[in-house]
Structure formats: C-alpha cells, structure tokens
Amino acid sequence: MRIVNKKAIDDFKRSHADAVKALDAWVSDVEGAQWSTPNQLKERYPRASILKAGHAVFDIVGNKYRLWVQITYKNDVLYVKRIGTHKEYDGWEIR
C-alpha cells in the first residue's frame, strides 16, 4: 500500500511520543501490505473498524489513539484522513 498524507502521522508523533513506536510499526506494516479487500485488512488488523466507502479506523497504542484512513483497494492507496486521541475521535464526523 502507498500511504498518502504521512505528514499527519509525522506531525502527530512529534506531540505524542508514546505513539512513535506503534505508528512506525504500523507504517512499515501497511507499506508492505497488499490488501485487495476489507476482509484482508481485517485478517491482519482484527480490531480495525471497517466503515463504508473504503474508510477504516485503526486503534493505536491500545486504543488510546485512533487513526482514520480511506483505502482505495484497487489502486493500493491508503489516505490518512485524521489521527487523534480517542476523545477527539468521538467528535469526528466520519463519512
């Protein structure tokens, strides 16, 4: 998968040092992934929330943080929409 908007992750890591290791591992794993369907994503990340229109939400650092992405499976592209605390996530309008 090609990750678009990695800047959002890098910016988040600068202010949340406890998430650096988990996010670096997630980026490395996703960049090596070749998911063709949401089911393949769920095989690797069973706790990820699969939403409509290619959206997914990943738990980071034991669900302390949430990472919202949109995936175009046919093009192997994952776009980082937002990353934040679980409390911030509760206020997001995910479409």
For residue 73, the SS3 value is helix
What is the tens place of the pLDDT at every residue in 5-23?
999 999 999 999 999 999 9
CATH number for 22: 3.30.2310.20
Residue 94 lies in a domain: no
- Count structural domains, the chain: 1
Q: Which residues pair with 4 in a beta bridge?
A: 79
For 1, 2, 37, 47, 59, the CA distances from 85, given in Å and listed in that order, are 24, 24, 27, 17, 10
- Looking at 1-95, list the stretches that DSSP marks H as alpha helix, in order from N- to C-terminal side: 6-15, 20-31, 38-44, 86-89
| Residue 80 belongs to a domain | yes
Is the residue at 95 inside a domain? no
* Residue 94 CB partners (closer than 8 Å, separation 6+): 51, 55, 57, 68
Q: What is the pLDDT of residues 19-41, one digit of tens each?
A: 999 999 999 999 999 999 999 99
- Can you give the residue range of the structural domain that contains 36? 2-89
